[in-house]
């Protein structure tokens, strides 16, 4: 039996719930003591208690999850920089959500997931991704819990369009099928890694079904380019209600906020998004 490794971290700058519940990941499930978190073919259990956040994973996956949860980055400095902006809502957001860490997710899985997320709610997104993995992924086990790996592009390209329609993808079915075929034919997302954010966005939006919002999410959560600033309904509310912004076009709003906050834009976006959504629930 594989040995289990525990990684323990101070919860002030790594809270399990806020990291998982801020819209950046869909493959996690609430369990008794925390969350089962899935990435590619790997599983880990994450929980926060007594001012500590613990990750339990297979010993051979330790480095993967240290990177996945971005544990080598200094989030205290990021939070201090946010406070120095002297923006009331940003300071409040940091106070309430500084336990968020931006995950380093697999680029392919992130792109598929955010194509699925368009015009969709989180329970449905999670359900569709689960059906996708169960239908085409490999059965796995972690601490007695069954899960399925995210399927390979080859497997996804081989399956008929009907499968995607039947798992609830609707008009997105052809986007998923098209991307799977592109990847299976040699299209490689890693080739764009060195591009500046706006050029990367330009390349990603050439893919069928990928608009600015999806591209910006993939850039932030898959490529970890932290100057990206995805704009959704909640961020648009922040921009209009709290920043008193005048722009109507979400791409232009994203560009304005990227320019304003630079390399920390993506971190601030997550604090603001999570705070706004929680405050209006």
List, by residue number, the catalytic residues: 213
Alpha helices in 21-121 (DSSP H): 62-68, 75-84, 88-97, 107-117
**Strands 4-10, 42-49: pairing kind:** unpaired
Burial of 191 (0-12, 13-18, 19+ CB in 10 A): exposed
User: Could you give the 3-state DSSP secondary structure of residue 229?
Assistant: coil
Q: Are 227 and 197 in contact (CB under 8 A)?
A: yes
Q: Is the distance from CB of 29 to CB of 36 less than 8 angstroms? A: yes
Q: Tokens 């079915």 label which residue?
A: 173
- Asked if residues 209 and 115 have their Cβ atoms less than 8 Å apart, the reply is yes
């Amino acid at each position: 039996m594989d040995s289990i490794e525990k990684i323990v971290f101070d919860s002030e700058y790594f809270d399990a719930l806020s990291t998982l519940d801020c819209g950046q990941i869909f493959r996690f499930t609430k369990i008794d003591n925390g969350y089962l978190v899935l990435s590619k073919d790997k599983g880990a259990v994450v929980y926060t208690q007594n001012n500590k956040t613990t990750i339990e994973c297979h010993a051979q996956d330790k480095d993967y999850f240290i990177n996945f949860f971005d544990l080598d980055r200094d989030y205290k400095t990021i939070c201090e920089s946010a406070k120095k902006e002297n923006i009331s809502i940003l300071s409040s957001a940091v106070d309430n959500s500084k336990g968020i860490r931006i995950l380093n997710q697999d680029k392919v899985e992130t792109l598929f997931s955010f194509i699925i997320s368009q015009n969709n709610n989180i329970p449905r997104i999670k359900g569709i991704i689960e059906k996708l993995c169960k239908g085409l992924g490999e059965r796995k086990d972690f601490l007695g819990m069954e899960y399925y790996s995210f399927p390979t592009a080859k497997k996804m390209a081989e399956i008929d369009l009907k499968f995607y329609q039947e798992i609830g993808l609707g008009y997105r079915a052809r986007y998923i099928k098209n991307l799977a075929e592109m990847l299976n034919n040699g299209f490689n997302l890693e080739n764009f890694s060195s591009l500046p954010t706006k050029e990367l966005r330009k390349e990603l939006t050439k893919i069928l079904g990928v608009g600015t919002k999806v591209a910006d999410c993939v850039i932030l959560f898959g490529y970890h380019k932290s100057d990206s600033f995805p704009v959704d309904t909640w961020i648009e509310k922040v921009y209009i209600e709290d920043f008193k912004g005048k722009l109507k076009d979400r791409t232009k709003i994203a560009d304005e906020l990227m320019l304003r906050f630079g390399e920390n834009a993506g971190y601030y976006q997550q604090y603001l998004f999570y705070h706004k959504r929680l405050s209006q629930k």
